[in-house]
Amino acid sequence: MELTFAEFIAAHKRTQKQENHHIELASPPPPVLISGTLDPYAGPWTEAASKHLLFRTVFGPTQPDIEAVQEMGMEEAISQLLADPPEDPPPINYDFAQDPNTPIGETWIDKPLLEGQRGYRRRSLRAWFTGLLVEKGMTVHEKMTLFWHNHFVTAGTSLPRAEYQYLQLLRTHALGNFRTLTKEMTINHAMLRYLNGHDNSAQAPNENYARELFELFTVGKGNLVAPGDYSTFTEDDVLAASKVLTGWRAPNNAQEPGEPQPIFRPFRHDKSTKQLSHHYGNAVIENGDELEYARLIDIIFDSGKPARFLARNLYRWFVYYHIDEAIEQNVIEPLAQVILDNDYEIKPALQALLASAHFYDENSIGCQIKSPADFVATLVRQFSLFTPPDLLDKYRYWYLFYQGIALIQMELLNPPSVAGWQAFYQEPNYNRLWINSVTLPIRLSYSDVFSTIGLGMGGQRLQIDVFGLIAELPNPLNPNDMIRDLAKPVFPMGLSDGQVDFLKEVLIPGLPDEEWTIEYSAYLNDPGNPVIKAAVELKLRVMLRTMLSFAEYHLQ
């Protein structure tokens, strides 16, 4: 039986009796000012720099990850992060015994969809997607897959295989070519359904996808400079593009196995000559039937405009939301040139950005608020929450984490609008939108419950192993060293002396440091003693719970 979040919140309410939180919501501060250019970083390769690189590129970096990256150096670390990961096995049927074509443990992606099977396949796909986020480790591939999911938004498809096909398209091109991805996304089944490409015909042109192709997917909506002219495209461009894109269909072939394929219907295609505006050299597109859409996209990309649009989006994803004139000139423009010089290949652009002096500026460190996906995955990986060896159990846990991410307002495979999640684009607050009166108590529920009483599921307990956690630290007998080392992978800038003293007071209130040394030594000498173990465990759990309630825990 799947654990629900009603049980999760009930568990959290029980922990509220133990201690009051001291985190507070404050009015938004002004944006930080980040200096530096796209020139290569030449400073020392410190633990802080290594941690910063990993915080921005992977979900939940651990202390061994940070130490490994520091040892290998910046260039090798970035090269490893950008390496193509091995192909992942497809999602499986993990809990639905009534599928006659797909036994438990086998994949459903190449099987027909029968009545009553949509629900289990959608659960399976969401668990699978979440599992990749929390388990892949040292690769930027998962952050880029989520980037493209927020960029090329689809939602609401009723065909699980179409959702899987969409995710595979994002994953295949996550570190590939922007132009190629745009072409394939334009006739993707899920996208044709989501933005009405399926309904677009010469007899009834539909502008939905054409508009978003310009405004959200390739060039962005600039400032209105004339009636119907947004400085990057015009209303006439949208109309012309909608005619170019006519004729494509996305049949809801639920009973057929395999990936759903788009179909081009020539009789539904507008065969007239289309002309784009001065923004695209007044280019003329003759009738090209099923090849016409690719010609349109080539014209858009050959204009060079998508390079700067992508550069800004990558910057906001990996660095910070605020782009002033200096950043536009020193970072965005040269990054856009890298993209153009490499014909819209993603890897060279990421290589340049992640190795830049600007990326490692001290004001860049810890200036992002963790997205819900980052928050949950970080909690899972950094504290080794997830260890079941059985694959079916893993899917159940992954689906629990998927529910948790959704509960703090980031439902994967269902963004709130075609523009994606507001925290990535909505001025002036951007990522501050992740923290509000609804999400903050639930985030605290996560850290509270997992650091204290834990959650029972399938005969196992999802709970931080505090003894295993501190046993890996260099000097757990010293309370100051123990607290600092425990916080190393957790906080982007470490803890201040005042925070360490505060946590030590929680651990051993009013007592000298030697008290912790005595108590922990007693446990090490007699770990089977239930009284000693319970006393030490309680101290550790209350201290850890307090640590994870710090506002800085939500930063990366």
Residue 459's pLDDT is: 75
Contact indicator for 319, 303 with CB cutoff of 8 Å: no
Structure token pair of residue 512: 């000298």
CA angle in degrees (0–180, nearest 5) for 177-425-181: 15
DSSP one-letter code for 7:
H
Which residues in 381-403 are b (16+ Cβ under 10 Å) and which e?
A: bbbebbeeeeeebbbbbbbbbbb
Q: How many CB atoms lie within 10 A of CB 424?
A: 19
Would you kindly state where each structural domain of the chain is located, as residue ranges? 177-303, 467-554
10-residue averages of pLDDT along the chain (556 residues): 50 45 57 96 97 97 96 98 95 96 96 93 98 92 98 92 96 98 97 96 96 98 95 98 97 76 96 98 97 98 98 98 97 98 98 98 97 95 83 93 96 97 95 95 94 83 92 97 96 95 98 97 97 97 97 96
Which residues fall within 8 angstroms of residue 173, CB to CB, at 6 or more apart?
148, 180, 181, 184
Q: What are the φ and ψ backbone dihedral angles of 119, each rounded to 5 degrees?
A: -60, -50
Cα distance between residue 301 and residue 211, in whole Å: 16
What CA–CA distance (Å, rounded) separates 140 from 59? 9
What stretches of 29-94 show up as alpha helix (H) in DSSP?
47-57, 63-72, 74-81
What single letter denotes the amino acid at residue 71?
A: E
Each residue's pLDDT tens digit, 211-252: 999 999 999 999 999 999 999 999 999 999 999 999 999 988
Sign of CA dihedral 326, 332, 335, 340: negative
C-alpha 376/C-alpha 382 separation (Å) is: 10
Q: Are 268 and 247 in contact (CB under 8 A)?
A: yes
Element (H, E) at 457: strand 455-457
Helix spans in 452-512 (H): 466-471, 479-487, 497-507
Global pTM?
0.94
CA distances from 164 to 32, 172, 186, 449 (A): 39, 12, 16, 32
CB atoms within 10 A of CB 440: 18
**C-alpha span between 291 and 299 (Å, rounded):** 13
Structure tokens at 425: 């684009």
Inter-residue contact 548 to 459 (CB < 8 Å): no
Residues 6+ apart with CB under 8 A from 509: none
Alpha helices, H only, 355-493: 372-382, 391-407, 439-451, 466-471, 479-487
One DSSP character per residue, 233-290 reads: -BHHHHHHHHHHTTTEE----TTS-S----EE-GGGS--S-EE--GGGTT-EE---GG
Residue 276 · residue 237 · CB < 8 Å: yes
Is the CA virtual torsion 303, 309, 312, 315 positive or negative? negative
Distance, C-alpha 236 to centroid of its chain? 35
Element (H, E) at 462: strand 460-462
* Short-list 470, 488, 491, CA closest to 479: 470
As given in the structure block, the two tokens for residue 427 are: 């001025």
- Residues paired with residue 229 on neighbouring β-strands, in sequence order: 226, 234
Residue type at position 172? T
Contacting residues for 531 by C-beta, under 8 A, at least 6 apart: none
CA atoms within 13 A on the CB side of 505: 7
Distance from C-alpha of 62 to C-alpha of 548, rounded to nearest angstrom: 16
Rounded CA-CA distance 76/139 in Å is 13
